[in-house]
Amino acid sequence: MKPTIYIGADHAGWELKEVIEEHLKEQDFKVIDMGNQNLVDGDDYPDFGHAVAKRVVADEGSHGIVICGSAQGICIVANKVRGVRAATGFNEDVAKSAREDDNSNILCLPGRHIKEKEAVQIVDTWLGTEFSGAERHVRRLKKVEEIENQEYGV
């Protein structure tokens, strides 16, 4: 069964979001658009990055895709949510590594720096890559989780 994909973008990623959303629906993914629903100049990436991150954590096994101008701001906000492993994916190799090595659950794309065809290829690569489960990656992710628990007082 394909995972649910939560997707969100600000004005700098809105058009790319629409293209990716349509592409994923054509592949029979369940896609939930967390906004913005319309192109609104000057809207704020934290609103959409946070909304997607909260849903991904609440819906085990789901994934998220978030898009802003550089991918950096929306990635920062997504990673503020406990349990999120958001990673920028500015090319296929980086996106693959983000899943294979880091078990990322949110892909962050730079809307101003990649073309639609490239973005679709990156998304397909990311979604088509499984976490390797290699001992060294599990060990490192456990350390990340321990840091997160310390920071959240758990």
Over residues 56-86, the pLDDT tens digits come to: 999 999 999 999 999 999 999 999 999 999 9
Query: Distance between CA 88 and CA 108 in Å, rounded?
Result: 4
Domains of the chain in start order, with CATH, are 5-151 (3.40.1400.10)
Whole-number Cα distances in Å, 86 to 52, 65, 73, 103: 11, 9, 11, 9
User: What sign does the CA torsion over 130, 116, 68, 20 have?
Assistant: negative
Percent of the chain with pLDDT over 70: 100
Question: Tell me, what's the pLDDT at 98?
Answer: 98
**In the predicted model, is pLDDT for residue 89 greater than 80?**
yes
Percent of the chain with pLDDT over 90: 97
Query: Distance between CA 117 and CA 87 in Å, rounded?
Result: 20
Query: Distance between CA 5 and CA 63 in Å, rounded?
Result: 5
Question: Tell me, what's the pLDDT at 154?
Answer: 73
Structure tokens at 57: 């954590």
Q: What residues are paired with 63 via a beta bridge?
A: 5
Mind listing the pLDDT tens digit for each residue in 7-44?
A: 999 999 999 999 999 999 999 999 999 999 999 999 99
The amino acid at 67: I
Question: Tell me, what's the pLDDT at 1?
Answer: 79
Angle at CA 152, nearest 5°, toward 74 and 129? Answer: 50
With a threshold of 0.75, does the pTM exceed it? yes
